[in-house]
Amino acid sequence: EMAHRGLAYALVYQNAFKEALREIQLALSVAPDNHENHFTRGLIFYQAGQLKEAQVATQEAIRINPNSPQYYRLMALIYMDQQQRVPAEMAVMKGLALDPLDESLMTLHAHLLMHSKQIGEAQAILDAAMQRNPENPYTRTANGWLLLYRNRPAEAVNEFREALRLDPTLRRAKKG
C-alpha cells in the first residue's frame, strides 16, 4: 500500500495524473480507511485541476484524521481556487489551530488577509513566516505580490527572483 502511494506521489510530480490515480486507487483497495491515501488522492485531483473530486477526497482524509494541518492547507487551496473565501479562511484557521507556525498556512492566511485589504496584518504574518524560514519560495512569492500591492515594485521583483531561485518552477512567482 505504501509503495502504491509513494509511486502515486512520484507520478504527480511528473504530471502523470491518470497513472497516479490508478496507483492511489490500488493503495485505497488495500487500505480504504487510510487518511494518507485519501489525502494523496485529493492532492492528485487538485494538481490535475479536478477541484470537486479533490474536495471530496480531502474531506474524507479530514474525516478520518482531523489532526493534520496539511489536510486543511489543501482544503484551503481548493476553496481558494473555487473562489470560496469564507470556507478557505475556515480551513486555514483550523490548520493554524493545529500548528500555528506552519509556514504554508501562515502564507495562505496572509494571502486571504491581503485580499480582504488587511495589508498590515498580512505583512506581519509574512514577515514572521520569512523569519522562521527565509528559504520558503511560496512565502517569498506571496510577499512579492503583497509588495506589488503596496506599490513597491523594486522590492517585489527581488522577492520574485529569490522565490524563483529557490524553486524555478513556481508559476505564481513567474507571473510576478
Q: Which three cell numbers stand for residue 97?
A: 489551530
In the predicted structure, residue 170 carries a pLDDT above the cut 80: no
* Highest mean pLDDT of the ranges 4-13, 23-32, 130-139: 23-32
Cα–Cα distance between 17 and 23 in angstroms, integer? 10
> Would you state the pLDDT for residue 79?
97
* Distance of alpha carbon 5 from the chain centroid: 19
Give the mean model confidence (pLDDT) for residues 95-99.
97
Q: Return all residues near 132 (Cβ < 8 A) that are at least 6 apart.
A: 101, 103
Q: Which three cell numbers stand for residue 149?
A: 500591492
In the predicted structure, residue 44 carries a pLDDT above the cut 90: yes
HEC letters along the chain: CHHHHHHHHHHHCCCCHHHHHHHHHHHHHHCCCCHHHHHHHHHHHHHCCCHHHHHHHHHHHHHHCCCCHHHHHHHHHHHHHCCCHHHHHHHHHHHHHHCCCCHHHHHHHHHHHHHCCCHHHHHHHHHHHHHHCCCCHHHHHHHHHHHHHCCCHHHHHHHHHHHHHHCCCCHHHHHC
How much is the mean pLDDT over the chain?
A: 93
Torsions phi, psi of 168, nearest 5? -65, -10
- Per cent of the chain over pLDDT 90 is 84
